[in-house]
């Protein structure tokens, strides 16, 4: 049986994510999977995500390889995926979501509030992040504590970012909890940033498995990895992002969590936030309704909340429009 070719970015995190999906595909289908490493523009550019456009910079090369028949399917971090889906490609599966939260890796094992209150001898605590969304919400959190922090824009892989803390250049960095755990580095987390305080990026913690729409048999095979609850949740989040007309590097946070009645999911709560990067202005709203029975119903919930946020002035706070 010929091996399926799985296209992946070359970063350690992307490789770890792809190996996990490859193992699951083999377990479910019996087909061997080989990884094909592909370099994307987002991997080689040292510019900020905002300056290079943000949306799609980590996925376009993988999609080109799919359309050229060089690979059979690709695995993406869902938060990196543009909200518009090309008709030539199928989002075959959204596997069960990992931890959606942001996480702090700080000096001396500190949490965010302790770090913000303590600062450093020379001034406010210095915290690294390349995400306008994180910068906005962390600045707002510090303001609520009556403190200032210095948010420092950074790029690079996990080792590079955590290295800024180990060297003393920064007091902390903020990363996705799911990524750290997929790399086996969860023990380095000093604080989890709960969605009640810092909303994650739309789709954070989830993966996307994509293949050519012209291969229905493969779409069906890969669909066995799909988790309907995760797909519904991220559909609501990504619709909110799309209807705000914001790219993945805009300061937009969104999280849809499923609420239980006993052992059964009965409701979906969708929360969204848009803010200026200094944290001075935020539009933060939520809506809760019966658990959507389809992706279309989840999309409607996302659109409703986006409309409410736009009515509250969200568009003027984003600083970036979709390209």
The dihedral formed by the CA atoms of 61, 62, 63 and 67, expressed in degrees to the nearest 10: 100
Out of 72, 102, 243, 248, which one is annotated catalytic? 248
pLDDT tens track for 143-178: 999 999 999 999 899 999 999 999 999 999 999 999
The Cα 141–Cα 52 span in angstroms is 28
- Is residue 231 annotated as part of the catalytic site, yes or no? no
First to last CA, the chain: 42
- Is residue 243 annotated as part of the catalytic site, yes or no? no
Per-residue pLDDT, 48:
46
- Is residue 126 annotated as part of the catalytic site, yes or no? no
Looking at the domain that runs over 1-96+206-226, which CATH code has it been given? 3.40.190.10
pLDDT tens track for 182-215: 999 999 999 999 999 999 999 999 999 999 999 9
pTM of the model: 0.90
CATH fold label, 228-318: Double Stranded RNA Binding Domain (3.30.160)
Question: Right CATH number for 102-193 from 3.20.20.70, 3.40.50.1010, 1.10.3720.10, 3.40.190.10?
Answer: 3.40.190.10
- Is residue 97 annotated as part of the catalytic site, yes or no? no
From-to residues of CATH 3.40.190.10 in the chain: 1-96+206-226, 102-193
From-to residues of CATH 3.30.160.40 in the chain: 228-318
Long-range pairs, 116-119, Cβ under 8 A, ≥24: 116/141, 116/142, 116/145, 116/147, 116/149, 117/145, 117/147, 119/147, 119/149
- Is residue 133 annotated as part of the catalytic site, yes or no? yes
Alpha-helix residue ranges (DSSP H) falling in 172-222 = 177-182, 216-222
Answer yes or no: are the C-beta atoms of 237 and 132 closer than 8 Å.
no
pLDDT band for position 126 (cuts 50, 70, 90) = very high
Look over the chain and give the mean of its residue pLDDT values, rounded to a whole number. Answer: 92
Per-residue pLDDT, 51:
43
Residue 43 confidence (pLDDT) above 60: no
Out of 9, 134, 185, 271, which one is annotated catalytic? 134
Per-residue pLDDT, 78:
95
Out of 72, 80, 171, 191, which one is annotated catalytic? 80
Give the chain's count of helices (H) and strands (E): 11, 13
Per-residue pLDDT, 248:
61
Reading the block at residue 171, the tokens are 């007091």
Out of 101, 126, 133, 271, which one is annotated catalytic? 133
- Is residue 79 annotated as part of the catalytic site, yes or no? yes
Residue 47 confidence (pLDDT) above 90: no
Out of 120, 147, 155, 215, which one is annotated catalytic? 155
pLDDT tens track for 55-102: 566 799 999 999 999 999 999 999 999 999 999 999 999 999 999 999
- Pairing of the two strands 264-275 and 282-290: antiparallel
């Amino acid at each position: 049986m010929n091996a399926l070719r799985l296209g992946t970015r070359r970063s350690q995190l992307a490789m770890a994510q792809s190996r996990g999906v490859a193992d699951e595909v083999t377990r479910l289908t019996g087909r061997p999977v080989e990884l094909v490493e592909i370099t994307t523009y987002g991997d080689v550019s040292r510019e900020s995500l905002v300056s290079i456009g943000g949306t799609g910079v980590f996925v376009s090369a993988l999609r080109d390889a799919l359309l050229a028949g060089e690979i059979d399917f690709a695995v993406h971090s869902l938060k990196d995926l543009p909200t518009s889906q090309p008709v030539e490609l199928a989002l075959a599966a959204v596997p069960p979501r990992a931890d959606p939260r942001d996480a702090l890796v700080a000096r001396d094992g500190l949490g965010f509030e302790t770090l913000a209150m303590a600062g450093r001898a020379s001034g406010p605590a210095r915290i690294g992040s390349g995400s306008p969304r994180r910068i906005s919400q962390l600045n707002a959190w510090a303001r609520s504590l009556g403190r200032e922090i210095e948010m420092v824009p950074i790029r690079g892989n996990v080792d590079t970012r955590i290295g800024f803390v180990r060297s003393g250049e920064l007091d902390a960095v903020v990363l996705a909890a799911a990524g750290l755990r997929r790399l086996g580095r969860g023990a380095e987390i000093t604080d989890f940033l709960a969605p009640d305080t810092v909303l994650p990026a739309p789709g954070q913690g989830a993966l996307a498995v994509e293949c050519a729409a012209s291969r229905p048999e493969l779409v069906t095979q890969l669909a066995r990895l799909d988790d309907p609850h995760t797909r519904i949740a991220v559909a609501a989040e990504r619709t909110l992002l799309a209807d705000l007309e914001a790219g993945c590097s805009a300061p937009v946070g969104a999280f849809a969590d499923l609420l239980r009645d006993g052992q059964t999911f009965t409701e979906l709560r969708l929360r969204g936030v848009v803010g200026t990067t200094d944290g001075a202005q935020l539009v933060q709203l939520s809506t809760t309704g019966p658990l959507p029975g389809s992706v279309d119903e989840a999309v409607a919930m996302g659109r409703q909340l986006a409309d409410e946020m736009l009515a509250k002035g969200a568009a003027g706070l984003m600083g970036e429009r979709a390209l």
